A and B are shown apart, each in its own frame.
Chain A
Amino acid sequence: MALLVCENASLGYEGTPIVRDLNFTVEAGDYLCVVGENGSGKSTLMKTILGLIPPLSGAIRTGDGLQQTEIGYLPQQTPVQRDFPASVREIVRSGCQGRMGRKPFYGKEEKELAERNIARMGLEALADRCYRELSGGQQQRVLLARALCATRRMLLLDEPVAGLDPKVTAEMYRLIEELNKKDGITVIMISHDLDAALKYADKVLHIGSTVFFGTKEDYLKSKALSGLTQEVAE
């Protein structure tokens, strides 16, 4: 049973579709990279997967016991967060909110989960520091730790390396790969960066004027045939 199934889905806002008749499946342990030009509907797809907006038609379903609210989400940073007074620990703990339901305060279990994920992302020394004073790469690791508090099985990463320098970018990709290969967490990554997609992912979803879904190997072959490369390079 697949973790995520997208069936004939049309996605968009207020009745205007951006993506039509989209079909793909995500199996446990996959590393899927979603690529496409700006405006091709990558963010719309992401919001639909997370249940923030409904699909216009068709369906995106989670399966194999995965709830939609159990997808760990790494969003792009918002301007509000840049001057937000919050410690690293406060932010990571807030990842537990979804699983807590109506419970108002963090229990032992949530606190331990947060500490584990802080350690997993190598943030122990920064746990009491203020989020807005961290570097871009450190901030991304904080948000990744928060996402890990929200999920055991699937991460959805929205441009995880946007604005990071090459060294930190490589480190971020290594962390994500480790989560995928070592911990068996399914990864869906939205990216501009086709090179990285082809280096790390094992499946590719290309959306836009041409739609492709399949393994990385098939994608490379179809690219060679149809000249998709040029389209992405634009």
Chain B
Amino acid sequence: MSALWEKLIASLEFPFVQYALIVGTLVALCSSLFGVTLVLKRFSFIGDGLSHVAFGAMAIATVLKLTNEMPLVLLLTVLCAVLLLRTGQNAKIRGDAAVAMISVGALALGYLLMNIFPTSGNLSGDVCSTLFGAFSILTLSPTEVWLSVGLSLLVVGLFVFFYHKIFAVTFDESFARATGVNAAGYNLLIAVIIAVIIVLAMNLVGSLLISALVIFPALSAMRVYKSFLSVTVCAAIVSVVCAVLGMLVAIVADTPVGSTIVAVDIAAFLIFALAGKLKR
């Protein structure tokens, strides 16, 4: 036991571990805030679709040998978010079908690109770390760290500032529109922010596991709490605690960071589900 403890303390002295903890905490915080809205607006599938788009964008960035991949990935994912929201309102191709098309297409083309223009000898390793995060959070460049911190703070700021509008648009969009709230504008804002969160979270858990980071804390909180504010606060705390715990376990036990965090999130969900049952 003490050997594990010593290993943990020793690891915490490395700057890259400290960066990982800071970025991980902030990313977990951001993703949980919009989880409630995503779940309740039935937008979860957009989040899932966008994470696949982010994989495709990452593949393009890798092939182009960009030193800093985040800006390009961010741009492409945000564009797709806007596009998906537009097609969602278009009756010709149903929203979910459009999402499925774009997301599977991006996955396939991304993998194809990485195969045609291999940039390193370890292709499957590259793909795996983009999909599941693996240890990418521990290999962030200083620019990526600062970009992540800045964007995370921006997302939290926007959420707090627009909290009541987001509530109104999530709870009852037609009422909000009827009373003059610019619901289309806020939907767009939510979609863009979700795209940003997904790009941020890619480094932490990889593109396939992002939805878990967004949805689990919100669903856990909804088992027990009854008001929007308490659910939001609880989801944020659960998400941060699970992320930190997951990262520490991953460092000590040498497990992949992303899947360890999601495993902790699942455990938290089971505890909350049980607590919700007992409370009733």
Enumerate chain A interface residues (CB-CB to B < 8 A).
47, 50-52, 67-71, 73, 75, 78, 80-81, 83-87, 90-91, 93-95, 97-99, 104-106, 128-130, 133, 146-147, 150
- Are B226 and A129 in contact (CB-based, < 8 A)? yes
Pull 27 A–B residue pairs with CB atoms less than 8 Å apart, ordered by A: A50-B174, A50-B177, A51-B178, A52-B177, A68-B180, A69-B178, A69-B180, A75-B175, A80-B41, A80-B171, A84-B171, A84-B228, A85-B230, A86-B171, A94-B164, A94-B175, A94-B176, A95-B175, A95-B179, A98-B176, A98-B180, A104-B162, A105-B164, A128-B227, A129-B226, A130-B227, A150-B179
Nearest 3 CB-CB pairings of A with B: A98-B179, A69-B180, A130-B226
* 142-167 of chain B: CB within 8 A of chain A: 161-165, 167
- Are A97 and B164 in contact (CB-based, < 8 A)? yes
List chain B residues, Cβ under 8 A from A86. 167, 171, 227-228
- Are B172 and A81 in contact (CB-based, < 8 A)? yes
- Are B161 and A98 in contact (CB-based, < 8 A)? no
- Are A75 and B172 in contact (CB-based, < 8 A)? yes
User: In the complex the two chains form, what is the Cα distance from A81 to B40 in whole Å?
Assistant: 8
Q: In angstroms, how far is the closest chain B Cβ from the Cβ of A85?
A: 5
The answer to the question of B247 belonging to the interface, with a C-beta cut-off of 8 Å to chain A, is no
Residue from the set B41, B164, B178 with the largest chain A CB neighbour count within 10 Å: B178
Nearest residue, chain A, Cβ from B169: A97
List chain A residues, Cβ under 8 A from B179. 69-70, 73, 95, 97-99, 150
- Are A73 and B227 in contact (CB-based, < 8 A)? no
The answer to the question of B42 belonging to the interface, with a C-beta cut-off of 8 Å to chain A, is yes
Nearest residue, chain B, Cβ from A51: B178
Tally the A-B contacts, defined by beta carbons under 8 Å: 98
- Are A80 and B42 in contact (CB-based, < 8 A)? yes
User: In the complex the two chains form, what is the Cα distance from A168 to B212 in whole Å?
Assistant: 42
Enumerate chain B interface residues (CB-CB to A < 8 A).
36, 40-42, 161-165, 167-168, 170-172, 174-181, 221-222, 225-231
Nearest residue, chain A, Cβ from B228: A86
Say what secondary structure dominates the interface of chain B.
Answer: helix
- Are B168 and A97 in contact (CB-based, < 8 A)? yes
**Inter-chain pairs besides A80-B170, A86-B227, 18 sampled, C-beta below 8 Å:** A52-B177, A52-B178, A69-B178, A69-B179, A73-B174, A75-B174, A83-B40, A85-B36, A85-B228, A85-B231, A86-B171, A87-B227, A90-B167, A94-B176, A97-B181, A98-B179, A104-B165, A133-B226
- Are A81 and B227 in contact (CB-based, < 8 A)? no
Nearest residue, chain A, Cβ from B161: A104
- Are B175 and A90 in contact (CB-based, < 8 A)? no
Residue from the set A94, A106, A133 with the largest chain B CB neighbour count within 10 Å: A94
- Are A50 and B227 in contact (CB-based, < 8 A)? no
Known: A86-B227, A87-B226, A90-B229. Contact between A81 and B178, CB under 8 A? Answer: no
Q: In angstroms, how far is the closest chain B Cβ from the Cβ of A108?
A: 15
List chain A residues, Cβ under 8 A from B181. 97-98
List chain B residues, Cβ under 8 A from A91. 171
List chain A residues, Cβ under 8 A from B175. 73, 75, 94-95, 146-147, 150
List chain B residues, Cβ under 8 A from A85. 36, 221-222, 225-228, 230-231
User: In the complex the two chains form, what is the Cα distance from A67 to B41 in whole Å?
Assistant: 29
User: In the complex the two chains form, what is the Cα distance from A83 to B164 in whole Å?
Assistant: 19
Known: A81-B171, A85-B222, A129-B226. Contact between A50 and B176, CB under 8 A? Answer: no
List chain A residues, Cβ under 8 A from B167. 86, 90, 94
List chain B residues, Cβ under 8 A from A73. 174-175, 178-179
User: In the complex the two chains form, what is the Cα distance from A67 to B179 in whole Å?
Assistant: 10
Q: In angstroms, how far is the closest chain A Cβ from the Cβ of B173?
A: 9
List chain A residues, Cβ under 8 A from B225. 85
User: In the complex the two chains form, what is the Cα distance from A52 to B225 in whole Å?
Assistant: 33
List chain B residues, Cβ under 8 A from A87. 226-229
Nearest residue, chain A, Cβ from B229: A90
- Are B42 and A94 in contact (CB-based, < 8 A)? no
User: In the complex the two chains form, what is the Cα distance from A50 to B171 in whole Å?
Assistant: 18
User: In the complex the two chains form, what is the Cα distance from A133 to B175 in whole Å?
Assistant: 21
Q: In angstroms, how far is the closest chain A Cβ from the Cβ of B186?
A: 10
List chain A residues, Cβ under 8 A from B172. 75, 78, 81, 94
